Structure 1
Amino acid sequence: MQSRFFVIPVSLLIALVLQIMPLPIEADVYRPDWVLIVLAYWAMALPNRVNVGIAFITGLAMDILLGTALGIHSFALSVSVWVLVANYQRLRNYSVWQQAIVIGLLSALYHLLVFWLQHLLTDIYFLFDYLWPTFTSMLLWPWIFWLLRKSRRQFRVT
């Protein structure tokens, strides 16, 4: 069955589409970090297949899609996934709700890195609104975890 080789790329592609999908201005502030959540799941489930290199390439695609300076999201995603992959054996043993807290911390790290890099390149100032996606990502983690685990088991992705 060859479809199992496409589960990870398709899930990352769906996450990229969800990341750039237009939302009303009031809801856009709360947009979860779809790409980070999907990368985090695959990095914890299959760290030998989804690692810092995949995060860097996905970040480059995100930089191109969002129109930001090339490398901002690549660096932030790479650092976040590196922290996750370095501790994946410990994180696998946590409950889904404890993992949601870790995802929230990773999301905060990701957003602070993106802010810091954009602040170095442009002259933006920090607003608390930059951290709202941290909370929505934490709330979505159990459902995304369940959905991706079900698809991984259904297609026997190893």
Structure 2
Amino acid sequence: MNRPHYILLPANPLFIAMTFLIAFFINLLPWGQWDGVPDFVALVLVFWSIHQPRKIGIVIGFCMGLVIDVHDATLLGQTALAYTLLSYFAIMMHRRVLWFSPLGQALHILPLLLLTQAVQLVLRLLISGKFPGWFYFAESLVSMLLWPLLSWMLLAPQRRAINRDDNRPI
């Protein structure tokens, strides 16, 4: 417990919306359909559900899931259901996760991301009957590896001081 604890500024709602928009645009890139490429909207949704559960909730997860469903031309509601569950479980355990280091947090979000993919896989199997292979779950592992970097990047604007003072340690 020798890690420094920062007093964070409040998250700007415009910044939160911008991160969702950027994550959606990254998901629009053509390499987003390959196996192993993380779902950046899901990562941003988990991050903000853990760090700002009163601002980002289940409704935002559902709406972002519908947008992804329309973009991917999948069964309408498939990703929405998965993101709703993802947001719910992230909000449910947000107090516990924040006590850990970014690597510990990554281990906590791995089951959430695997659950999201499992829900999407079950619905895909019910609709088409085709199993995409076990490499399908590599997306969650890559997302887990990206979690410390994403966490550092999204918390950076909240760490800055309003009035910079060289004599103040925070």
> Scaled by the length of structure 1, what TM-score is found?
0.89
Listed one character per residue, the Cα deviations across residues 13-72 of structure 1 (whole Å, up to 9, x for unaligned) are: 1111111211298xx212012111111111111100101111000101110111111100
Residue in 2 aligned with 1:69?
75
For residue 86 of structure 1, the aligned residue among 92, 98, 103 is 92
Greater share of helix residues, 1 or 2?
Answer: 1
**Contact 1:33 1:107 (C-alpha < 8 Å) held by counterparts:** no
Q: 1:89 to 1:21 in 2, by over 3 A?
A: same
Q: Counterparts of 2:56 and 2:143 in 1: how far apart (Å)?
A: 20
Alignment of 1:49-128 (within 5 A): 49-128=55-134
Q: Counterparts of 2:53 and 2:26 in 1: how far apart (Å)?
A: 23
**Contact 1:80 1:106 (C-alpha < 8 Å) held by counterparts:** yes
Structure 1: which 5+ runs fail to align? none
Q: 1:101 to 1:76 in 2, by over 3 A?
A: same
**Is the partner of 1:50 in helix, strand or coil?**
coil
1:34 to 2:49 alignment: no
**Contact 1:37 1:103 (C-alpha < 8 Å) held by counterparts:** no
Q: 1:155 to 1:84 in 2, by over 3 A?
A: farther
Listed one character per residue, the Cα deviations across residues 74-95 of structure 1 (whole Å, up to 9, x for unaligned) are: 0001101111101111111111
Q: Counterparts of 2:28 and 2:95 in 1: how far apart (Å)?
A: 32
> Scaled by the length of structure 2, what TM-score is found?
0.83
Amino acid at match of 1:95: S
1:22 to 2:30 alignment: yes
Residue in 1 aligned with 2:51?
45
Alignment of 1:109-148 (within 5 A): 109-148=115-154
Give the 4+ runs in structure 1 shifted more than 6 A: none
State which structure, 1 or 2, has the greater radius of gyration over its C-alpha atoms: 2
**Is the partner of 1:23 in helix, strand or coil?**
helix
How much identity, in percent, do the aligned residues show?
A: 26
Q: Counterparts of 1:10 and 1:31 in 2: how far apart (Å)?
A: 21
Q: 1:76 to 1:68 in 2, by over 3 A?
A: same
**Is the partner of 1:70 in helix, strand or coil?**
coil
Q: 1:152 to 1:118 in 2, by over 3 A?
A: farther
